[in-house]
Chains A and B, each alone.
Chain A
Amino acid sequence: MKPANLSPKTLSILCVGLAIALGPIVLPEYQVSQVNNIGIFALVTLGLILLTGVAGMTSFGQAAFVGISAYTTGYLATSEQLPDWLGWAGASPWAALAIGLLLTLAVATLLGGLTLKLSGHYLPLGTIAWGLSLYYLFGTLEFLGGHTGISGIPPLQLFGLTLDQGYELYYLIWALVLVAVIVTLNLLDSREGRAIRALRGGQLMAESMGVNTYRSKLLAFLVAATFAAIAGWLYAYTQRFVAPAPFSLQSGIDYMFMALIGGVGQVWGALLGAASVTFLKQWLQDLLPHLLGKSGNYESIVFGLLIVWLMQKVPGGIWSWLSPKLPDWKIKKPAAPGAESGEKLVRRPQPQAGEVILDVRKVTRRFGGLVANNDLSLSVKAGEILAVIGPNGAGKSTLFNQLSCVDTPTSGEIHFRGVQVNGRNARQIAGQGLSRTFQHVKLLPTMTVLENVAIGAHLRGECGFISAALRLDRKDEAKLLQEARYQLERVGLGNYLHVEAGSLALGQQRILEIARALCADPCLLLLDEPAAGLRHMEKQALADLLRKLRAEGMAVLLVEHDMDFVMGLVDRVFVMEFGQRIAEGLPEEIQKNPAVLEAYLGGAE
Chain B
Amino acid sequence: MNYQIVMLLGQDGVTNGAIYALLALSILLVFTVTRILLIPQGEFVSFAALCMAAMEGGKPLYIGWLLLALSLAALALEAKERYQANGKLQLKGGDFAFTLYSLAACALLATAPLGTAGKPIQALLTLGLIVPLGPLMYRVFFQAIAAGHSLVLLIVSIAVHVALVGIGLLMFGAEGARIQPFSEGSIQLGGANINSQTLWVVAVSLILIVALYFFFEKTLYGKALRATAVNRLGAELVGISPELAGKASFSLAALIGALSGILIAPITTIYFDSGFVISLKGFVGSIIGGLASYPVAAIGALGIGLAEAFSTFWASSYKEVIVFTLILPFLLWRSLAHGGVEEEE
Contact = CB atoms under 8 A, between A and B. Distances in A.
A and B physically associate: yes
Interface of A: 52, 56, 58, 60, 110, 113-115, 117-122, 124-126, 128-130, 132-133, 136-137, 140, 200-201, 203-204, 207, 213-214, 253, 256-257, 260, 292, 296-301, 303-308, 311-312, 315, 406, 425-426
A312 B169 contact: no
Given A114-B328, A115-B331, A301-B163, A121 B341 contact: no
A100 B287 CA distance: 30
A117 B158 contact: no
Interface stretch (B44-52, B116-124, B147-155, B215-223): B147-155
B284 A140 contact: no
B154 A128 contact: no
Given A114-B328, A298-B166, A311-B152, 6 more contacts: A114-B331, A120-B150, A121-B31, A136-B321, A200-B344, A292-B170
Given A114-B331, A133-B320, A203 B343 contact: yes
A121 B321 contact: no
A296 B272 CA distance: 12
Contacts of B145: 311-312
Nearest to B338: A117
A129 B163 contact: no
Contacts of A124: 37, 154
B5 interface: no
A142 to B, nearest CB: 10
B92 to A, nearest CB: 25
B324 A58 contact: no
Given A114-B328, A119-B344, A132-B277, A298 B169 contact: yes
B327 to A, nearest CB: 5
Contacts of A140: 317-318, 321
Contacts of A312: 144-145, 156
Given A136-B321, A301-B167, A308 B280 contact: no
Nearest to B340: A425
Nearest to B286: A125
A256 B167 CA distance: 20
A527 B170 CA distance: 61
Interface residues of B, number: 48
Contact of B155 (A114, A301, A307): A307
A129 B280 contact: yes
A60 B318 CA distance: 21
Contacts of A304: 159-164, 166
28 contacts: A58-B151, A58-B154, A58-B155, A114-B332, A117-B338, A118-B334, A118-B335, A118-B338, A122-B331, A124-B37, A125-B327, A128-B283, A129-B324, A132-B280, A133-B324, A140-B317, A253-B162, A256-B155, A296-B166, A296-B174, A298-B169, A300-B165, A301-B166, A303-B163, A304-B164, A307-B155, A312-B145, A426-B340
Nearest to B291: A121
B186 to A, nearest CB: 32
> Top 7 nearest A-B pairs by Cβ distance?
A304-B163, A301-B166, A307-B159, A304-B162, A300-B166, A133-B324, A114-B331
B163 A300 contact: yes
A308 B331 contact: no
B184 interface: no
A456 B151 CA distance: 27
A133 B170 contact: no
B170 A296 contact: yes
Contacts of A299: 166
Interface in B315-333: 317-318, 320-321, 324-325, 327-328, 331-332
Contacts of B151: 52, 56, 58, 120
Contacts of B156: 307-308, 311-312
A244 to B, nearest CB: 12
Contacts of B318: 136-137, 140
Interface of B: 31, 37, 141, 144-145, 150-152, 154-156, 158-167, 169-170, 174, 277, 280, 283-284, 287, 291, 317-318, 320-321, 324-325, 327-328, 331-332, 334-335, 338, 340-344
A122 B287 contact: yes
Contacts of A200: 344
A257 to B, nearest CB: 8
A125 B340 contact: no
A253 B158 contact: yes
Nearest to B159: A307
B341 A203 contact: yes
A103 to B, nearest CB: 16
B344 A203 contact: yes
A199 B163 CA distance: 31
Contacts of B162: 253, 300, 303-304, 307
B331 A311 contact: no
A306 B145 CA distance: 15
B43 to A, nearest CB: 11
Nearest to A211: B341
A117 B328 CA distance: 14
A202 to B, nearest CB: 8
Contacts of B170: 292, 296, 298, 301
B133 to A, nearest CB: 15
A207 B341 contact: yes
B108 to A, nearest CB: 25
A218 to B, nearest CB: 12
A305 B331 contact: no
A214 B340 CA distance: 10
Contact of B327 (A121, A126, A311): A126
B87 to A, nearest CB: 22
B163 A308 contact: yes
A128 B335 contact: no
Nearest to B145: A312
A403 to B, nearest CB: 16
A488 B276 CA distance: 53
Contacts of A308: 141, 156, 159-160, 163
B37 A121 contact: yes
A127 B317 CA distance: 21
A485 B344 CA distance: 30
A301 B37 CA distance: 20
A56 B151 CA distance: 8
Given A52-B151, A304-B160, A136 B169 contact: no
A133 B338 contact: no
Contacts of B320: 132-133, 136
A204 B31 CA distance: 24
A132 B287 CA distance: 16
A297 B166 CA distance: 6
A406 B155 CA distance: 32
A297 B152 contact: no
Contacts of B159: 257, 303-308, 311
A120 B344 contact: yes
A113 B328 CA distance: 11
A140 to B, nearest CB: 5
A350 B340 CA distance: 30
B226 to A, nearest CB: 20
A334 B42 CA distance: 51
Contact of A129 (B37, B284, B317): B284
Contacts of B165: 300
A21 B163 CA distance: 38
A117 B159 CA distance: 26
A256 B158 CA distance: 10
A207 to B, nearest CB: 5
Contacts of A128: 280, 283
A552 B298 CA distance: 61
Contacts of B317: 140
Contacts of B342: 119, 203
B205 to A, nearest CB: 23
A109 to B, nearest CB: 13
B154 A133 contact: no
Contact of B325 (A133, A203, A257, A303): A133
Contacts of B335: 113-115, 117-118
Contacts of B332: 114
A119 B338 CA distance: 9
